[in-house]
Amino acid sequence: MTPRLSSTTYSRNLRRFSSHASYFIKKLGCRQNEQLYFTLVHDDKNKNKRYSTSLIHPAMTLHKPLSLLERRTSQFTLFTKRNKRIHVLSQNKKGYAVFMEINYRETRTSDFKKIRAQFIDVDLNKISMHLDTKEQVKQMIESIHSDPEEQLQSITVKRNKKGQYHLLALRSKQRVTKLKKAFIKKFKLQIKDTMIIETKNGYHIYWVVQGASVSKFVPIQKALAQKFSSDPLITNLSRVMRIPGFYHMKNPRSPFIVKVRQLGRKKPFSQEEIIQSLALKPFN
């Protein structure tokens, strides 16, 4: 049995990737006076905590052991509505993933004022579909098993309230690694100038934008999801995404640190450039 992540390993790996969160935030064009909103979600228990902080100190320095490091990382000490201090590093080690709201608004309840990026979530660890009959389920399972390339951890089938069967097949770590490489190779030209964040099960890909229209955000999101066969739910303005520099802890015995793989070009995209270069057909 693989041991859980030790404090020494956790601290050492965070020091190695400590700058990635800062790179990510700066790349999105976040300004010093802008409020940033974070959500901590327990990877295993699905518990949510929401916090916010201002970008007074955008650099994250991690040069001390974990026990001292948290007290010296004030810029990643977040605050609840009651101004309670929350140390993100200790929460991450307990299993909480660190998510950030990508687009800008002044408060959690106000309208969005700025689109920072168009983005997709490429999740390669699962095969998920809804089927109408047991026979269709049987045929699909046989089809998956007959593919010599597929390597699965498990297959589950559950029936929902509408009477449909939800088939969920989880791929092995080795299969996901192969699919990651295949995705980058397939879309190399389309994503060569983007910011690429590697997650445990795939990639988050960002087209950082400037002067973007809020009204065009959702249609472009939907078109991007269709273009890259990525998660179709990543379309709402208030979408939060995992930020790099912290661990994915859904399986504490097999943690994965989310990291920046490519920062992309310096010049931001325009929404029209994204549409034209990728031949997108935005729809509502």
Joined together, the tokens standing for residue 87 give: 């140390």
pLDDT for residue 57: 41
**How confident is the model over 228-261, as pLDDT tens digits?**
999 999 999 999 999 998 989 887 778 899 999 9
pLDDT for residue 7: 65
DSSP-assigned letters across all residues of 108-163: TTSPP-B--EEEEEEE-SEEEEEESSHHHHHHHHHHHHH-TT--EEEEEEEE-TTS
pLDDT for residue 53: 72
Q: How many other CB atoms are found less than 10 A from the CB of residue 239? A: 16
**Banded pLDDT at 50 (limits 50, 70, 90):** confident
Calculate the average pLDDT of the chain: 87
Check pLDDT > 70 for residue 123: yes
